[in-house]
Each structure stands twice: as C-alpha cells, then as structure tokens.
Amino acid sequence: MAENIDRDATVGSASESPLSLLLQLVLSPSKWDVVTILLVVVLYVAYRSAQKDQSTDAHLYANFIDKMKAKDQKVAIFYGSQTGTAGDFASRLLKDLRRMGISSTLLDPEDHDMKLLSNLKDIEDHLAIFVVATYGEGDPTDNARGLFDFLTEAETDEPIMEGLRFTVFSLGNKTYEHYNLMGRFVDKKMRELGGDLFFRRGEGDDDANIEDDFLAWREEFLDFMREKYNITAEHVGQLREYEQIVHDPAPAYSFIGEPHKLGSFRTQRPPFSNKNPYIGKITAHRELHTGGDRSCMHIELDIKDAKIKYSPGDHVAVQPVNNTRMVEQIGERLNIDLDTIVSLTATEDSCASKVNPFPCPSSYRTILSHYVDICALPRTNFLESMIEYCTEDSDKQELLRVTASGDAGRAAYNDFIRVSGRDVLDVLTALPSLMPPIDLVLEMLPRLQVRYYSISSSLRVCDNSIHITASTHDYITQTGRHGSGVTTSWLRSLQGKVGTDEARIPVYIRKSTLRPPLRCAIPIIMVGPGTGVAPFRAFIQDRHALKESGKMVGETRLYFGCRHKSEDFLYQEEMESYVEKDSLNLRVAYSRDQPEKIYVSDLLNEDGAEVWDLLNRQHAHFYVCGDAKAMAKDVHLMLLKIIQQHGERSLPDAEKFVKSLKQRGHYVVDAWS
C-alpha cells in the first residue's frame, strides 16, 4: 500500500493471502470446490512453514492458566491488534472489570501458548474476551496468528471448548470486502468447538465511528456483567497500571528510539526486522508534482550495507518521529524537563500485558518523539483519566460532559474531539486548568505505530536501494491548527537534510502477497491511480529488466489516473520511456483536464473487450492498488460489467468468475481507506 494507515481496522495489504482464504473457507465451506479447498490448504501449509523459517527469536510461552489461578483471576482478555486500537479497547475493558472487583488479565496471544485456552474452563466463573481486529482483507493481525492457527487446526468433532464462556468484540472496516472476518471467525469457531457465547459479539466499523461502536457495546456488556454478578459498588478514581521511576543520576545508556533492544540504533547488526530496524540513509528526496497545491514525495534509501532483500510488491515499514515543536510545546505546557530519564514499570497489582508500556529507560523527549502517538485523537478513557487533574470546575464539567455514557455523551465527545480534530496538545490548550502528571499522560497515550509504504522500485534495476512514493496531506482543524500526517510531515522535513546524518530513517521490510506472477510470460493488468502506482512502478521496472535480459515477458498494462497531466502525472517521463521501449501499455485517465471527469474505471470500460480477452484467454493477473472507499469498488463493479458484457455471462456467473480469479491469486487488491 502506498499510504500510511493509522488504525487496526484499515491497516495492511488488502490482498487475498493464504490466511484470508482459509478464514473464508472456514466461514463459508459450501461455496468452495474440492480442488480449490486443497489448493488453499497447500498454500496455508507452505505459508506457515515460511513464517516459521523467518522467525529469528526463540519463543518461550508462558502458562497463563497457572498464573491466573495463582492470582485468582477470572477473566482473560485476548487482543489481536496491528496498530494499537484493539489493544487499547482491551485495556479499557480490563480496567472496567477491575473497577467492578472482577480480577482479570490482559493477554497478548503472541506471548502465550493458545493450546492452553481450553483449560480456562477449569477456572470457576471464568470468561474469555476476544478483542480482535481484521488486518486488510481478512487476515488476522500479526500478534493473533497463534490464536488463528490454534483455532484453525482444532478439530470441530472434538468439543475441546465445551463449557468455556466467551465473548468477542471485533474491529473492521466496511470499505473492505471481508468486513470483520477475523472476529466472526473466532466467534464461529469457538462455538463449533463447544464454547458458550456468554454475551453477544460486538462489531466496530472504522469507516464510520469505531469509538462509538465500541462504547455502545461496552456499555451493554458492563450492564450485563453488573446484573449477572449483582455488582452494586465500583471503584472510583484512577487505576494505574504503571508507576514512574525517575533515574537520578541518569544511567550511562538509555533508549533513543530503538523499538526493542537498547543500543541497536548505535550498533547496527542484521538481520533487520520490526524489533531491529535498519537506519537507512536518504540519498534522494524530490517532489513529484509539477504544479498545484498538493504534494507527493519520491524518496530513495541506501541499503547497501544492510543485506536487505525485497521483492516487487513488498512494503517498507517506516518508524516515524513526532513533530519536534509539538514535543517541546507539550513539555512547556506540563512544565517538565524533557531530558529527564525515566522508566514506567508495571505496578505490583498491575494486570498489564507488558512490564513497560514502551522501551525504558528513556527521556521524556524520546518517549514523546518516538514511542507515543501525540497526534492521535484522544479516546474517552484518556479524557476520563484527566478529570481529577482539573482545578477549575468549568474544565472538569466539560470533561464530564464529553465522557458521559449514553448517546448524549458520545455526541459531545464526537463534537469536542473528532469533528474538531483535537489531539492531546489541543485538549491541554482547551482546558487551561488541566495539569496531569506526565507519567499518566504517557501511560494513557497509544503507542506510535510504524507506517507501511509499497516499495516503488525493483532490486533488478535499483540495486542497493529502496524507493518510497508518498503523498502528503495538510489540513486545518476547526480549532485553527495546521495538521498533517505524522510520517509524511517528518519525511518532508528531511528534504533539505539529504546527505547529512539527520536524513536517516528506521525501516524494515514486510513481505506482501501483492506480487507479479512467477512466470513473467503471463500478462498483467495493473490499476493504480495516484500513489497507487507505487508497487506497479516496481512491477514495471522488474519486467522491463527481465525483457532486456532476453526473457519472454507478457503484456504489462497499466491504468493510471491523476487530476492534470501537467501537474500530478507521477513518473511521467519514466513511464513514457517504457512505452517507447515496448515494455508497457499505458492508459492514463486525467480526471480534471476536460469538463467531464474521466477515471480509470472509464478506461477499463473502453477497453472491455481487450481486458476480457486478457483475463479469459490469456489468463492475465489483475491488480488494483489505491483508495478502497471509491476507486477499488468502482473498478470491481466495472470488472463485473466487463465480464457480463464481453464474456456474455450473467451477474451470478460473473461474480463466480471474479471469485475464482481471487482464489487463484489472479485478482489482488491492495487498498487503503
């Protein structure tokens, strides 16, 4: 994907991976033929084998059942979170239950042996809560793969979950085809294994208002728990999971942004991964737009010393840094010395899943710059935790108003935070008497997440280099604040520093299922307007290099779209040179260069007979990358129309044809919302 994604429900590749296909198979087995089922199983086994081969860390599972029994804990809350939203919701449920006096624990499936899950029923008054996000188009999140694998491999004719009480809240996005697939899978499979759905499954839609969805479900669930257990009194006030230690004198070494291992930024050693990113040096940084008020960056990273390999279609993960001025302003507002070295450590009675919420020891400056998301819209639990630190009644009443339960409270929160676009600094500015302790702010803020970009280069052409194509988005909030994307604004700030040590960014490679056919003789059709062209630039470079080396390469067709040919035709000269060398069939839709808007779907319609021939007779692969909300849907509908019109098929038969393409990996979508 060529755009950064900020929440669980919208993150990642929208392509049909083996995990996604297997989830669909479990949920709708009757729709699949025997050959396809066998193919999916083979792909999944190969995928699992590859995942194990890629693992570089020996993993020691903890026996969470024994720990729960030792601490007399009744409720286990499991979360599958790609970027933190599901983890945040799970943490809030944990505190809710603790306030009720129900001893609970928060568990990351990645850190525990999920084969022990069935033993939870041995605990009296037990309950398993699954708060799980769907990654892209139907995959489990990275940390929930162990849970997915366990449930997938469990035989339904053995009711190993019989008597085990559970509930599910799932996170998804309706712009994607497989909405909330992971949560629905967990619910269905747990019941098939004999589990007892204790409370109805909830679903959150990130395309609408996922916070509202969660709050509504949470209120119902908590009311159900109060009635079920006759709870009449609850704890009032803060329930802290972490306590702060100020290091004075400061330790010899502290974290400076490393995600996992102290000193890994100072001394770089492969292999590089999410826990050990490579600090890549920016060697080129230029503007791609030649006019207009919008911007798109082309960035090149030197990886010659990293021993990093990637394939066309893979993603590069960028670990961003927050705006320096905003960090300074928070320090000034809270009257802290940003260079103080601290650690946040789990309290003795904490039920947090991590000993530290972020790498410690670190300075306040490092934490605010690298580890917490200061630009995220504060959620209601953050605002609730701030109430007691207001010295003026008017500020306290405002926070009580926007955090109240029910429709009125949710509407007030929506106006104060979502519509106004307020971040943590805006909240502190809007409530002058609010003076919370900095460690509470750091504990309550979500973790700053990496952003994924489709690599827009091929190693066959750009040896020892990774290219990034990223558009920037600037806006003004209702409060008058100028805003922009966290990662893209940071990358933009490095443009004038190319060639210096400041122009270095932490990155690692994430494999993708969006990739060209193994046999380059197979034709490909690519639809990628705007920055959606990024992975296809890599495809085109790769196939051109293969053609130049004497390989037989099938037709390489690109449908690109932009507003104006003279302003935002990305990589125009390069693309036209490939056309001249007969390596590319290029079709461009300029949406604003004529009175009537023309989009990539319109060009597909014009070329309907050719597209049908490529797909049906020549077995071409069809790729889409870009906006999920409008473009990807329009292209999908146009594809169905083409199949009906030129393939002379009914709509149901056209849908079957498209489904077959997807199941065979011949129709792949990588979209973002």
Active site residues: 454, 625, 670, 672
Amino acid at 525: I
SS (H, E, C) 260-308: CCCCCCCCCCCCCECCECEEEEEEEEEECCCCCCCEEEEEEEECCCCCC
Nearby residues of 452 by Cβ (< 8 Å), 6 or more positions away = 1, 4, 5, 11, 12, 315, 316, 317, 318, 510
Phi, psi of 38 (to 5 degrees): -65, -40
Residues 624, 601: Cα–Cα separation, whole Å? 11
Torsion of CA 337, 343, 347, 353, to 10 degrees: 120
Sign of CA dihedral 160, 45, 133, 179: negative
Q: How many CB atoms lie within 10 A of CB 536?
A: 29
Torsion of CA 67, 70, 74, 76, to 10 degrees: -10
- Omega into 140 within 30° of 0, i.e. cis? no
Q: How many CB atoms lie within 10 A of CB 356?
A: 15
Residues 20, 27: Cα–Cα separation, whole Å? 11
Helix H segments across 100-177?
145-153
Check if the beta carbon of residue 185 is closer than 8 Å to that of residue 192: no
Bridge partners, residue 527, by sequence:
559, 624
> Which DSSP helix (H) or strand (E) runs through 165?
strand 165-172
Nearby residues of 36 by Cβ (< 8 Å), 6 or more positions away = 663
**SS3 at position 367:** helix
Nearby residues of 89 by Cβ (< 8 Å), 6 or more positions away = 79, 131, 169, 171, 214, 218
Nearby residues of 577 by Cβ (< 8 Å), 6 or more positions away = none
Count the helices and strands in the chain (H runs, E runs): 21, 23
Q: Which residue has the tokens 């919208």?
A: 10
